[in-house]
Amino acid sequence: MGIDKVKCAQDCAKETFKGEKIMGLLEGKVAIITGSGRGVGRAEALAMAKEGAKVVINDLGGSLDGRGERSMVADQVVAEITAMGGQAASDYSDVGTLEGVDNMIWKALSKFGRLDIMVHNAGVLRDKMLLNMEEDDWDFVQKVHSKGSFLCTRAAGRVMRTQGQGGVIMNTTSMSGLMGNFGQANYSFAKAGMYGFTKTAAAELGRYGIRVHAICPNAYTRMTANLPALKGITEEMLDPATMAPLVVFLASDLAKNLNGRVLLAHGGTIGVKVTEFKMAMAKGFNKKDGLPTAQDIADHIDQVLIPDPDLEMMAALKFD
């Protein structure tokens, strides 16, 4: 997306912001939320609209694995936002392609004149045991999650840098990536990479006042409904709307001093928990006189390893 094209779109839509009354935390802001036709993305879009943001609802409307017929689920969310007095526009672009992301960015700029918030929430699943996984199952999941996050972050970052007023970008990770999950090697690979990608993007874009975070929903949606760890859990217990307040917070000036965070929200009728994920490192074994031998490492393995067990899904769901 070139600078001239950005400026043209902003000039063409500058009348949009005249005469508006300041009301919400995101009043005057323009947001793109990918994958916002259903579930967590829809809840995020509705919450942002209620806080005054103008929202581009991006969703291909495809099946969970990216195959099959598509539906205009984006239009339904736009209708909901319009009915409550907000402003929104539908977009059906493929976020795993450069052309699709450029078209989506152009939709925001031509319709609303600017871009302040990008939330990349689009996702697909092609779960299969690692030894039985087809190459296409691996590549397609990386296209939507990994490449999609890269393309969306780069495109949004370029526009926000040109505008010169900062912005907020949120990539979506998953507990499957942060902890691992049986049968999801492709998905967990992509979502684990979101951690390092977010930290790097935050460091690079922070100089322009652009804050980059990774958000980790833990909700009952069509993407999680069949996970063994959520057996017996209902949508009311893990409500997709639980993520929305955290996203609004990060997008607003309330979080203007935060950057590069990986934050989780989950809950519903069982309560709501908001927390941060960080890497942990053991004290380690230090040898000052030459290289440690294999036997040295074996003899000091208690110092090398972290004594606490890896975080497990059900442990993360507990409320203190």
User: Is 187 annotated in the active site?
Assistant: yes
58-72 residues labelled b (16+ CB within 10 A) or e (exposed): bbbbbebebeeeeee
Torsion of Cα atoms, 261 then 42 then 88 then 67, to 10°? 100
Residues 6+ positions from 132 with CB-CB distance below 8 Å: none
Q: Answer for the pair 245, 294: CB distance below 8 angstroms, yes or no.
A: no
Backbone φ, ψ for residue 160 (5° rounding):
-65, -40
Active-site residue identified among 187, 195, 208, 220 = 187
Cα gap 152→32, rounded to integer Å: 10
Cα gap 191→187, rounded to integer Å: 6
State both tokens at 156.
């949004």
Q: Which residues are tagged catalytic?
A: 187
